[in-house]
Chains A and B, each alone.
Chain A
Amino acid sequence: MIQLSRNYSLPERKEDDLAIKIVGVGGAGANALDRIVLDGMEHAEMIALNTDVQSLAGSVATCKLQIGRGVTRGLGTGGDPELGFNAAQESAEEICETLRGARMVFICAGLGGGTGSGAAPRIAELAREHGSLVLAFATLPFVFEGKRRCRQAIEALQELQRVADAVICFENDRMGDIVLPKAGIHQAFAVADTTISQSVRAIINVVRRPGLIRIGFDELLAALRSQNSRCLFGYGESDSDNRAHEALALALRNPLMDRGKMLSDAQAVLVQIAGGPGMTLTEVEIVMQELNRHVEDHTQILFGTSVDNKMGNRLSVTLISSLSADGAVQAAPQMIPRLKPKPTAVEIPPATASFSGPIEIEAPTPPNVVEFANPQPPPAVEPVEEEFFAAEEKNLPMAEIAPPPSAPAAVRKEKKPLVRREPQPAAQPEPVKTAPPKKEKYVQARQEVMQFEPITRGRFEKSEPTIVEGQDLDVPTFLRKNVRMK
């Protein structure tokens, strides 16, 4: 009895059973996915989806899926969204198989091209039909990429916004703002990838981290509630003495934030402050006070804080919010119920026909969307949660498709249970699995701190060194103690 009650009091048990899948669609999606993998992400499964076999072969994701084998024959879509959509349609069954069991699906896609614009909305739709919460991270092309691409991107974005639970949209043009004018084009594109990687990680952390004041899906959805909107996202991390202030400043400096000016129009802002065991109440207060200067009085602040030993002496601030596009606030809620039945009724037949299990899951989806548009978040969440559990129980064994590295065109199906009990032969590209990057990530963070000019003693270079307790006191203290200076 006593033991039982003790077991109940364990708070951290829950965080592990959250199945998250990150899907990179198209070339840009794959790039973003690669960045996420390289930055280290151990809590989620990475799936690269593309029509182009070559690009797929170059990806470092653990699971790769070629779509539209009949439509494109292993080539790209040539910038035609129609082709991309058809490809996704053709491989709908495999996509469903891959995404099954995920409670949360992140879709990363670069809009404007063929695969990203065409397939991403369809994939989002499929994922939702299987009861996953779908968050899409979309990048819009640079203006110089041409008007046609931009138009395609906008159309795809609207489509995505219609089908996904939330869309976080990165405008590449805005990304350009934070890169130096002289920086190479590579760097400009890389910034978008890095930002996506950061946001995905931050959102996963927000919902996964055991919090003192926990943030769940419900708050996340409330913050991202308004459909047809721009998402505001900011993330900052600091380990200096003034880390609370700096982390918030960094979060507000994020290109999606516009230095916090955008926040004043937001209906709800989600804030999560995470830090090591050394985080103090004062620091939390500082962040909240400063943040309050940026938001209006009526704005709902969804506040969460968590202590994570892995943070060390760093403190991070994550801000998530969404902003209704001008004038669209009224229109959005009414449009969704009308638009939503269309895809389920018209386009789904091939998918539904091939599936026996998920039919009862499909049913609650459309009313669900209506509730999201409703400005009361708590009731909206419960069905979603239930749905996740249901989906998870049903779909324990899930299929993962990994092409052998030598011949990517020959796609092989493999049944693999979610709980990895039996050791699998090393058919998958194990070397790029996510376990090592976890370490790498923290090492990286340290290295950043170490980025100083080579240690020097300045004006004492030629004088007799003062060595006390093995330390050369002529070297500046802040260098020896690895304190970062700007």
Chain B
Amino acid sequence: MASSNLMVGLEIGTSKICVVVGEGKPDGTLKILGVGQAPSRGVRKGEIVDFETAMKCVHEAVVDAEEKSDIMIRSVYLAITGGHIQSFNNRGCVLLPEDRDEIDEQDVEDVRVNAREVSIPSQNAFLHSIIQSYHIDGQDGVLSPVGMLGQKLEADFHIIHGMRSRIQNSIRCVKELPLDVEDVVFAPFAAAQVVLTQHQKNLGALVIDVGGGTTDYILYNDGAVRQSGVLAVGGDHITNDISMGLRIPMTRAEKLKIEEGSTVLGNCLPGETVLLKDDSGFAGKEIERETLNTIIHMRLRESFELLKKRLEDEPFLNYLGEGIFITGGCSQLNGIDNLAEEVFEIPARVCHAQTMSGLTSAFENPQFSAAIGLIKYAQAVQADRPARGGIRGLVGKLLGRMR
């Protein structure tokens, strides 16, 4: 690493690859130095399907970022997503030895390991185990147990895991460049770091990152992650639907979606059309606006309904004080917040990374939420590192498992 307070986030997305270079200031704020990006090829639904092509694209993006920020990139934090990622909540428990009643760091580490002692499919690896709260001898809601007295330490964790081979593929894609991977982070978890403030996490919020290939979500309540996951449906699907529904090429469909698309129905004049201008090799075509919007609306509504069904397995959806935050490339679609509000019956808004300085154009774009979130995550991890040796070990262990 060139400098301990320089951090790089890399997200290999379905539609674009994005590298964000940031600098952690001593006062805890972040400054974005540069953003490099390249259109992504060889990635479907958030997972690499064409290794060589994807690698080239990552290389392009990294070079772009190096040029813009004037920094040599050696290591990155990598965002991971994909339909294979799953999550659950579990409680770990350790009993202190008879001769000791003060909880120390080792106990906290033990309880974390203990919470992971659950069976996940053999080909899966743990990505995160995020602490929700500790309980000491039945006392609930303990935030930091180190130094407290007790005999029995329990802890609730939100555990995220995914298929080892696919996570390794992404890591290898970066390692071949060659760059070091400091850590892998579940993409919506990273995005939530910059989209939500601590206050919002406490009150309860749902972040939905509608990306190119996947729709990722993470739900916070009482300051802790309660639910998270991935629905392998994203903007690509909308484009594909438009392409098939209107019988136009994918590239035209993508452009049409971005320039004219809306999720609002019944807002067009009857018979209102959009004219697709003819380009080289493509005859012009008139498209009824309502048809276009219907296709988009149906796809997004379905995705939201599926998400809602998943989230309703647990009761947290009813206790969101802050509502829904939609981010990611597809959140720029007109009316998506109203649609989410309609489906979830909870206030929803479109948002981008907050509390940053530096390149405003970068963090004000919801496309970069996850990549910027990586930096915030990195900053948090690095800040913890000197204080808690355990984390370092954990990261090492985690990577060890994956390798």
Interface residues of B in 254-307 (CB under 8 A from A): 265-266, 270-271, 288, 290-291, 294-295, 298-299, 301-302, 306
| A481 adjacent to chain B (CB < 8 Å) | yes
Is the C-beta of B395 less than 8 angstroms from some C-beta in chain A?
no
Interface residues of B in 41-72 (CB under 8 A from A): 44-45, 49
Check A478 against B294 for contact (C-beta < 8 Å).
yes
Give the shortest distance, in Å, between A161 (CB) and chain B (any CB).
Answer: 37
Identify B243's interface contact among A458, A464, A478, CB under 8 A: A458
Question: In the assembled complex, which residues on chain A have CB atoms less than 8 Å from the CB atom of B290?
Answer: 241-242
For the complex, give the distance between the alpha carbons of A464 and B166 in Å: 13
**Selected interface stretch from A90-98, A106-114, A294-302, A468-476:** A468-476
From the candidates B45, B241, B298, B299, name the one contacting A463 in the complex (CB within 8 A): B45
The A/B interface has a contact count, at CB < 8 Å, of 80
Cβ–Cβ contact A477 & B298, under 8 A? yes
Asked if A186 is at the interface of the complex by the 8 Å CB criterion, the answer is no
Kindly list chain A residues whose C-beta atoms are within 8 Å of the C-beta of B298: 477-478, 481, 483
Cα A476 to Cα B250 in complex, Å, equals 14
CA distance A459 to B253 in the complex (A): 12
Q: What number of B residues sit within 8 Å (CB to CB) of A? A: 30
Decide if A456 is an interface residue (CB 8 Å cutoff).
yes
CB neighbours (8 Å) of A486 from chain B are 288, 291
Given A241-B265, A459-B236, A466-B233, verify A485-B270 contact (CB < 8 Å): no
Residue A370 lies at the interface, judged by CB distance under 8 Å to chain B: no
Q: Which residue of chain B is the closest to A458 with respect to CB atoms? A: B240
Instruction: Tell me if B237 counts as interface (CB < 8 A to partner A).
Output: yes
In the assembled complex, the Cα of A458 lies from the Cα of B245 at a distance in Å of 11
Task: Let me know if A460 is at the binding interface, CB within 8 A.
Answer: yes
Verify A468–B49 contact, CB threshold 8 A: no
B240, B288, B299, B306: the one contacting A459 at CB < 8 Å is B240
Which residue of the partner chain B has the closest CB to A459?
B240
A476–B83 CB distance below 8 A: no
Contact B306 A468 (CB under 8 A): yes
A288 is an interface residue with CB less than 8 A from chain B: no
Are A474 and B270 in contact (CB-based, < 8 A)? no
Task: Encode B220-247 as 1/0 by CB contact (under 8 A) with A.
Answer: 0000000000011100110011011110
- Could you say which residues of chain B place their CB within 8 Å of the CB of A477? 241, 295, 298-299, 301-302
Interface on chain A toward B: helix, strand, loop, or mixed SS? loop
Q: Is the CB of B45 within 8 A of A476?
A: no
Minimal beta-carbon separation of B298 from chain A (angstroms): 4
Q: Closest CB-CB distance, B333 to chain A, in whole Å?
A: 15
Measured in the bound complex, the distance between the Cα atoms of B45 and A241 in whole Å is: 30
Determine if A390 is an interface residue (Cβ-Cβ < 8 Å). Answer: no
A241 to B298 Cα, complex, angstroms: 11
Q: Which of B168-196 contact A (CB under 8 A)?
A: none
Q: Does A284 contact B (CB under 8 A)?
A: no
Q: How far is the CA of A476 from the CA of B295 in the complex (A)?
A: 8
CB-based contact A466/B232 at 8 Å: yes
Contact A459 to B241, CB < 8 A, known contacts A476-B299, A481-B298 = no
Give Cα A469 to B245, complex, Å. Answer: 23
A35 at the interface (CB under 8 A from B): no
Closest to B309 in A: A469
Q: How far is the CA of A477 from the CA of B239 in the complex (A)?
A: 12
**Choice from A240, A460, A481 contacting B240 with Cβ under 8 Å:** A460
- Alpha-carbon gap, A240 to B297, bound state (A): 14
Asked if A458 contacts B306 (CB within 8 A), the reply is no
Decide: B83 and A466 in contact? CB cutoff 8 A.
yes
| Given known A241-B266, A466-B232, A468-B231, contact A476–B294 (CB-CB < 8 A) | no
Query: Given A459-B236, A466-B45, do A476 and B266 touch, yes or no (CB 8 Å)?
Result: no
Q: Is A245 an interface residue (CB 8 A)?
A: yes
Contact of A485 among B44, B237, B246 (CB under 8 A): B246
Complex formed: what's the CA distance from A466 to B45 in Å? 9
B109: min CB distance to chain A, Å:
37
A24 → chain B closest CB, angstroms: 38
Closest to B84 in A: A464
Distance between Cα atoms of A466 and B232 in the complex (Å): 6
CA distance A485 to B241 in the complex (A): 11
B158 to chain A, nearest CB (A): 22
When A242-B266, A466-B83, A468-B306 are in contact, do A479 and B233 touch as well, CB less than 8 Å? no
Q: Is the CB of A476 within 8 A of B241?
A: yes
Which B residues lie within 8 Å of A481 (CB)? 298
Q: Are B294 and A474 in contact (CB under 8 A)?
A: no
The residues in B between 104 and 140 inclusive whose CB is less than 8 angstroms from any CB of A are none
Interface centre among A290, A453, A474 (most CB of B within 10 A): A474
Distance of A242 Cα from B294 Cα, bound (Å) = 10
Contacts of B270 in A (CB 8 A): 242, 245, 249, 290
- Digitize B27-46: 1 where CB-to-A-CB distance is under 8 Å, 0 elsewhere: 00000000000000000110
The residue from A240, A456, A463 contacting B244, defined by CB atoms under 8 A apart: A456
Q: A249 vs B232: C-alpha distance in the bound complex, in angstroms?
A: 39
Interchain CA distance A464-B246 in the complex, whole Å: 24
> How far, in angstroms, from A478 to B294 measured CA to CA in the complex?
8
Contact partners of B288 in chain A: CB under 8 A: 486
Closest chain B residue, CB of each to CB of A244: B270
Provide the residues of chain B in CB contact with A463, threshold 8 Å.
44-45, 49
Q: CA of A476 to CA of B298 in the docked complex: distance in angstroms?
A: 9
Q: How far is the CA of A132 from the CA of B243 in the complex (A)?
A: 56
- Measured CA separation A486–B271 after assembly (Å): 12
Give, as a whole number of angstroms, the nearest-CB distance from A484 to chain B: 10
B residues less than 8 Å from A466 (CB atoms): 45, 83, 231-233
- Residues of chain A within 8 A (CB-CB) of B49 are 463
CB–CB A485/B240 < 8 A: no
In the bound complex, do residue A460 and residue B241 qualify as a contact, i.e. CB atoms below 8 Å apart? no
Residues of A within 8 A of B240 (CB): 457-460, 474, 476
The CA-CA distance from A464 to B84 in the complex, in Å, is 11
Task: Collect the chain B residues with CB atoms within 8 Å of residue A249's CB.
Answer: 270-271
Chain A residues with CB under 8 Å of B236's CB are 459-460
Residues of chain A within 8 A (CB-CB) of B306 are 468-469, 473
CA distance A481 to B243 in the complex (A): 17
Residue among A456, A457, A459 with the most chain B CB within 10 A?
Answer: A459
Chain A residues with CB below 8 A from B291, complex form = 485-486
Contact among A241, A245, A464 with B294 in the assembled complex (CB-CB below 8 Å):
A241
* A456 / chain B contacts, CB cutoff of 8 Å: 244
Complex CA distance for A245 and B302, rounded to whole angstroms? 25
Query: How many Å lie between the Cα of A456 and that of B271 in the bound state?
Result: 28
Counting chain A CB atoms within 10 Å of each CB, the highest count among B232, B243, B265, B288 belongs to: B232
Q: Give bound CA distance, A426 to B298, whole Å.
A: 52
- A485 to B45 alpha-carbon distance, docked (Å): 26
Q: Is the CB of A479 within 8 A of B244?
A: yes
State the Cβ distance, A82 to closest chain B Cβ, in Å.
51
A269 vs B302: C-alpha distance in the bound complex, in angstroms? 42
Nearest CB in chain B: distance from A22 CB, A: 36
Which residues from A are CB-within-8-Å of B246? 485
Nearest residue (CB) in A for B290 is A242
Q: Is the CB of B45 within 8 A of A458?
A: no
Question: Is A478 in contact with B245, judged by CB distance below 8 angstroms?
Answer: yes
CA separation between A483 and B296, bound complex, in Å?
A: 13
Find chain A residues with CB under 8 A from B237 CB. Answer: 460, 473-474, 476
- Give the contacts of A434-486 with B (CB-CB under 8 A): 453, 456-460, 463-464, 466, 468-469, 473-474, 476-479, 481, 483, 485-486
Tell me which residues across on chain B come within 8 A of A469, comparing CB atoms: 306
Query: In the complex, what residue of chain A is closest to B302 when comparing beta carbons?
Result: A477
Known: A477-B299, A479-B244; 18 extra A-B contacts, CB below 8 A, are: A241-B265, A456-B244, A458-B240, A458-B243, A459-B236, A459-B250, A463-B49, A468-B306, A473-B233, A473-B237, A473-B302, A476-B241, A476-B299, A477-B301, A478-B299, A483-B294, A483-B298, A486-B288
A-B contact pairs, 10 of them (CB 8 A): A241-B265, A241-B294, A458-B244, A459-B240, A460-B44, A463-B44, A468-B306, A476-B240, A478-B245, A478-B298
By Cβ-Cβ distance, the 4 closest A-B pairs, closest first, are A476-B241, A458-B240, A466-B232, A477-B298
Interface residues of A (CB under 8 A from B): 240-242, 245, 249, 290, 453, 456-460, 463-464, 466, 468-469, 473-474, 476-479, 481, 483, 485-486
